[in-house]
Amino acid sequence: MITRYDRVAVDLPKPTSPNPNGASLVQELLGGKFGEMSTLMNYTFQSMNFRGRDQAQAKPFYDLIATIAAEEHSHIEAVTFTINLLLSGATERGTDPTTVPLGIAEESRNSLHFIASGQTALPIDSMGRPWTGDNVFSSGNLKLDLLHNFFLECGARANKIRVYETTDDPTVRAMAGYLLVRGGVHVVAYARALEVLTGADLGKLLPIPDISNKKFPEAKALEDKGLHRVLFRNNSPDFARVGEVWKGKHPEDGSDLVVDDGMPESFPTPLLPAEPQLTAPGIGAIDEAMLQEIAKRLG
Ligand code: MN3
């Protein structure tokens, strides 16, 4: 079971200006092959599908995958709110449909943002392809699943770095910086899991790609606070054996890995203003002429 809070894990600043094409790019980090929907769904299915967790030596790995799965929900929120903030105010606000208020859609890369949604995120990648369950790997073999997850997190890290490099927008950079740090935790966690399970030292491969998080100011600020070495248990009485995997030294800077029984810092969810030209949300702001017409018909 999941407990939900009306909070986000990243303090997202307002974009410097609406940026529909930036929003299209960021979609890759949500619904792309290596996006947050993929990490969320991979670990969610792998944890629910986990066989033999009653075996003492298996339980810490179950606890790890389940704990990371829960965190990934906050990552789809971070990316989705970033997209939504970039799309807010991208078209002309008003209630007159004859002024071509959605004209910008013609020159924007993703028309679905304007036609299929209320200028908001969709479960698609940066090219508009829908996210698919084909992105989920859940083989039932722990070693294989952990190897896959290590690869998935490294691929996700590469995508985050490249999206960061496309823009200087502060919202995108805050989101990408945060996810580089937390995704980095998950890279190390799956490397450490394989190490505990097999003795292989995957830490020697890191970082993949070969660039430190500390090169990204938004990520460095969070790593200076130690966010790269903490796994959160979110006050749950369960999954307590995660510390049997998440332990030892961080392979990149040698700091101690720690399990925090509480929750990460969180921030209010950004408010998305109404976009009346899209009739979103479609309550209030009643059209006077239409109201009179209805009143006449009702007699
Ligand atoms: Mn993630």
At 98, the pLDDT band (50, 70, 90 cuts) reads: very high
Report the separation in Å between the CA atom of 30 and the middle of ligand 1, taken as the mean of its atom positions.
10
pLDDT for position 162? 98
**Mean pLDDT computed over every residue of the chain:** 96
> Which residues make Cβ contacts (< 8 Å) with residue 117, sequence separation at least 6?
none
Query: If you measure from the C-alpha of residue 102 to the centroid of ligand 1, how many angstroms do you get, rounded to a whole number?
Result: 33
Cα of 58 from ligand 1 centre, angstroms: 23
Arch. (CATH architecture) of 7-298: Up-down Bundle (1.20)
Taking only Cα atoms into account, the Rg of the chain, rounded to an integer number of angstroms, comes to: 22
Q: Six-digit token pair at 24?
A: 């299209």
Residue 140 — very low, low, confident or very high, per pLDDT cuts 50/70/90?
very high
Residue 292: pLDDT over 90? no
For residue 92, the CA-to-ligand 1 centroid distance in Å is 34
Letter for the amino acid at 125?
D
pLDDT for 286 equals 61
Q: Which amino acid is at 266?
A: S
User: Model confidence over 142-154: pLDDT tens digits?
Assistant: 999 999 999 999 9
How much distance in Å is there from the Cα of 219 to the middle of ligand 1? 14
CA of 287 to the centre of ligand 1 (A): 43
Specify the pTM.
0.94
Q: Summarize the confidence of residues 80-107 as an average pLDDT.
A: 97
Cβ-Cβ contacts under 8 Å for 282 (sequence gap 6 or more): none
Distance, C-alpha 239 to centroid of its chain: 22
Give 233-280 pLDDT, tens digit per residue: 999 999 999 999 999 999 999 999 999 999 999 999 999 999 999 999
Least Cα distance to 8 among 88, 112, 83, 119 occurs for: 83
Q: Which of 179, 180, 204 is nearest to 191 (CA)?
A: 204
70 touches 2 (CB < 8 A): yes
Q: How far is the CA of 167 from the centre of ligand 1 (A)?
A: 20
Ligand 1 centroid to Cα of residue 75, in Å, is 5
Amino acid 297: pLDDT: 87
* Main-chain phi, psi angles of 273, to 5 degrees: -65, 160
The SS3 assignment for 259 reads: strand
Q: How close is the Cα of 39 to the center of ligand 1, in Å?
A: 6
Partners of residue 256 on adjacent β-strands = 249
Q: How far is the CA of 240 from the centre of ligand 1 (A)?
A: 21
Q: What is the pLDDT of residues 20-42, one digit of tens each?
A: 999 999 999 999 999 999 999 99
